Amino acid sequence: MTSLDDLPLRPELRGKTAYGAPQLDVRHRLNTNENPHPLPAALLADLGTALAEASRGLNRYPDRDAVALRTDLATYLARTSGVPVGADQVWAANGSNEVLQQLLQAFGGAGRTALGFTPSYSMHPIISAGTGTGWVDGHRRADFTVDAEAAVAQVRAVQPDVVFVTSPNNPTGTAVALETIEALYDATRGMLVVDEAYTEFARPGTRSALTLLAGRPRLVVSRTMSKAFGMAGLRLGYLAADPAVVEAVQLVRLPYHLSSLTQAAARAALAHTDALLAGVDAVKAERDRIVAALPGMGLTSVPSDANFVLFGHFGDAPAAWRALLERDVLVRDVGLPGWLRVTAGTSEETDAFLTALGEIVPVVG
């Protein structure tokens, strides 16, 4: 058997294992922050029509610049943020992971550095490594919030080419204040990428970094249809930024990266935005129910603006993870000592999770 060590692999990839949450066949899968609600029947019908229509043109390459889709995404962003956003400010790719990869291909790369405030989305350093970009861990306080002054000082000292701010943050659920984002923008000469994958789940009063875009050409807001829209299988992520940033990612994107089927399906889904986002409030209510139930079990959580909750504190989090799995509940061990992360789903899933948790706490708590 050939092993990776036998291949002429890039040195920085040696000894690494592929990213991936376990895809186990478990009754309650609460480990990858997906939306549990089935797609509305009217959307399923429209998807069938849209895909059949797009299939007729499959002998041709797709619209390389996905103009119609970017126009629809711009309309969604403008409508929900109150900020004017034009199609020339929007770029789309296969999941926001690909958007982030294109940003690092354009603005990171060999001899350059990215910085993100860890613990945060584990793909940021992984995509950095894949694009040859150096990585620096930014600091958070013990409660997982970002200390604006310390963050600005660190960015000034490191002078990264790309700064990542995940807000709301994965895996902690922590939102970052817009004032902090503004201060980080002023502190860096590099690109500032605000990863807003979970922004639709934020509690009232949280504002998107879209409101900061005007006059800040090095600011990028990254979004996805995988979470609030409940379309993780579609693979559709997008960004909003200055049109020059869109031009920059077009230098590195593969031609025809976004298939005609993906573009057609995403447009069909966006036509049902209101129905798709109707499930968001229900998910937020389940998140808040989980948060409220934890103290009664002697547990705690990190305040969350996302569709998941980081909960603990366990003496042995891996043992708690296994005990929940034995009760058919799959949560995520994100490698933070004492903590586990659970995705908020349906009320039945919350019931199952809380029941299982109630059983295991006396044993492993």
Binding mask 277-316 for ligand PMP (x = CB under 6 A): ----------------------------------------
Cβ(314)–Cβ(184) below 8 Å: no
Nearest distance from residue 215's CB to ligand PMP, in Å?
25
Fill in the amino acid letter for 4.
L
Nearest distance from residue 346's CB to ligand PMP, in Å?
19
Query: Coil, helix or strand for 133?
Result: coil
Residue among 76, 121, 185, 311 that touches ligand PMP (CB under 6 A): 121
Sole window of 95-103, 266-274, 319-327, 344-352 interacting with ligand PMP (rule: CB under 6 A): 95-103
Sole window of 77-85, 90-98, 108-116, 291-299 interacting with ligand PMP (rule: CB under 6 A): 90-98
| End-to-end CA separation in angstroms for the chain | 43
Three-state secondary structure along 28-50?
A: EECCCCCCCCCCCHHHHHHHHHH
Asked whether position 258 contacts ligand PMP by CB under 6 A, the answer is: no
Quickly list DSSP for 288-335.
Answer: HHHHHHSGGGT-EE---SSSEEEEE--SSHHHHHHHHHHTTEE-B--S
Nearest distance from residue 116's CB to ligand PMP, in Å?
10
Nearest distance from residue 236's CB to ligand PMP, in Å?
7
184 closest CA partner among 222, 158, 206: 158
Question: From the CB of residue 247, how many other CB atoms can be counted at a distance below 10 Å?
Answer: 12
Site for ligand PMP in 10-69 (CB under 6 A): 33
Residue among 226, 307, 343, 350 that touches ligand PMP (CB under 6 A): 226
Question: From the CB of residue 195, how many other CB atoms can be counted at a distance below 10 Å?
Answer: 29
Integer Cα distance of 62 and 269 in angstroms: 18
Integer Cα distance of 235 and 225 in angstroms: 8
Asked whether position 96 contacts ligand PMP by CB under 6 A, the answer is: yes
Closer of 93 and 354 to ligand PMP (Cβ):
93
Binding mask 177-196 for ligand PMP (x = CB under 6 A): ------------------x-
Which residue of this chain has its Cβ atom nearest to ligand PMP in the complex?
95
Asked whether position 172 contacts ligand PMP by CB under 6 A, the answer is: no
Q: What is the DSSP letter of 256?
A: T
Non-local (6+) Cβ contacts of 218 within 8 A are 185, 188, 189, 190, 191, 192, 242
Nearest distance from residue 227's CB to ligand PMP, in Å?
7
Place of tokens 């986002």: 277
- Where does this chain bind ligand PMP (CB under 6 A)? 33, 95-97, 121, 166, 170, 195, 197, 224, 226, 232, 237
